[in-house]
Chains A and B, each alone.
Chain A
Amino acid sequence: MTEEAAAPLWEVFIRSKRGLSHNHVGSLHAPDAEMALRNARDVYTRRMEGVSIWVVPSATITASSPDEKDSFFDPAADKPYRHPTFYSIPKEVQQL
């Protein structure tokens, strides 16, 4: 067995404090999920960086392809009406 197959890559996500979402912080190698979690704790939270950790096998992530970024993401570009700044509001309305 190659070392890579023996200890595959895991992606690590950390919630830095309650109320925030988990953010991707990096990756590491581990033979199984338990070790991945333990390693993530040691490697990525030495300075109190987190209150919760997710580990995900890198191979199980399905990602959008950069080649299709036009068809994937450009359609959102011509829909400014999704953003609040699209709408003009009379000055006398202070908060909306």
Chain B
Amino acid sequence: MVAGAAAVSTLRIADDCLVLSHRLAQWSSWAPTLEDDIALTNIALDLLGQARAMYARTAELDGTGRSEDDYAFMRDERAFVNCLLVEQENGDFATTILRQLLCSTYQLAQWQALTTSTDGQVAAIAAKAVKETEYHRDHATDWTLRLGDGTDESHQRMESALAALWPFTAELFESDDVSRDAAGLGVGPDPEDLRAAWDAYITRVLDDATLVVPKVSWKPTGGRQGLHTEAFGYMLAEMQHLHRSFPGVTW
């Protein structure tokens, strides 16, 4: 049994949400239309809310009593346990939409499973998150269809995005001692078990969008152990610098 497996598993989810929220927030004032600017921020705000709720629960589970800001601003890269996919840079709108499709489909399956968690608080957070994430997936699905089956250029860009992001999806479904113990406790699903639903949905959407999954052998991993891509360090440096410049103050 891994000590604190439950806390690590909630922290992984919280970090996924925070990092993805931050990436989406970077779109503010840069989206293709005003309507999309508003939509991307809505999703980012939902994710930020999910992250905050899961940090609060993690602090109870790991017994440290840390604040949400301690988790977000006072840990270094090696202590973040989000998957590599969420930290990938925004790229163009196609890359962001595809990342959204891959992430939100995964997160929806995860939240659905968490609604029956033996941890009552996690189950309650999941019940709210399911509704939000259903919308995130719908949004990404709609745009995937439009970009995949839109113009030659948009199709091309979606293919490039697939080539760039697909390798990072393998990590989503890796099980380790933490995830197996958390599953054993009934706290959360084992990622392996989310694969079938995710595959079915993604295959159908990509097919409808006239997109083909690339064959790749490279399967980068390490995020759950705090081994991240280089771009993530810059994201954290920007996010954390002000908080860390004035230790202990109230904002």
A28 to chain B, nearest CB (A): 6
What separation, in Å, do the CA atoms of A30 and B42 have in the docked complex? 18
* 0/1 interface trace, chain B 123-146, chain A, CB 8 Å (1 if under): 000000000000000110010001
Q: A42-B42, A46-B42 are in contact. Are A34 and B35 (CB under 8 A)?
A: no
Flag whether B64 is at the interface (Cβ < 8 A).
Answer: no
Flag whether B39 is at the interface (Cβ < 8 A).
Answer: yes
Which residues, 62 to 94 on A, are CB-close (under 8 Å) to B?
A: none
* 0/1 interface trace, chain A 1-13, chain B, CB 8 Å (1 if under): 0000001000000
Inside 8 A of B35's CB, which chain A residues have their CB? 28-30, 35, 39, 42-43
B140 to chain A, nearest CB (A): 11
Flag whether A17 is at the interface (Cβ < 8 A).
Answer: no
Select one of B38, B138, B139, B146 contacting A43, CB under 8 A. B38
- Total inter-chain residue pairs, C-beta < 8 Å: 25
Q: How many of chain B's residues touch chain A, expressed as a range? A: under 10
What separation, in Å, do the CA atoms of A79 and B239 have in the docked complex? 68
Which residues, 113 to 162 on B, are CB-close (under 8 Å) to A?
A: 138-139, 142, 146
* 0/1 interface trace, chain B 33-46, chain A, CB 8 Å (1 if under): 10100110010000
What separation, in Å, do the CA atoms of A60 and B42 have in the docked complex? 30
B139 to chain A, nearest CB (A): 7
* 0/1 interface trace, chain A 21-37, chain B, CB 8 Å (1 if under): 00000001111001100
Most chain A CB within a 10 A radius of its CB, from B35, B142, B146 = B35
What separation, in Å, do the CA atoms of A28 and B142 have in the docked complex? 18
B167 to chain A, nearest CB (A): 30
Q: Report which B residues bind A (CB closer than 8 A).
A: 33, 35, 38-39, 42, 138-139, 142, 146
User: Which 5 pairs show the lowest CB-CB distances between chains A and B?
Assistant: A39-B35, A42-B39, A42-B38, A42-B42, A43-B38
Q: Report which A residues bind B (CB closer than 8 A).
A: 7, 28-31, 34-35, 38-39, 42-43, 46
Q: Could you show 25 A-B contacts with beta carbons less than 8 Å apart?
A: A7-B33, A28-B35, A29-B33, A29-B35, A30-B35, A31-B146, A34-B142, A35-B35, A35-B142, A35-B146, A38-B39, A38-B138, A38-B139, A38-B142, A39-B35, A39-B38, A39-B39, A42-B35, A42-B38, A42-B39, A42-B42, A43-B35, A43-B38, A46-B38, A46-B42
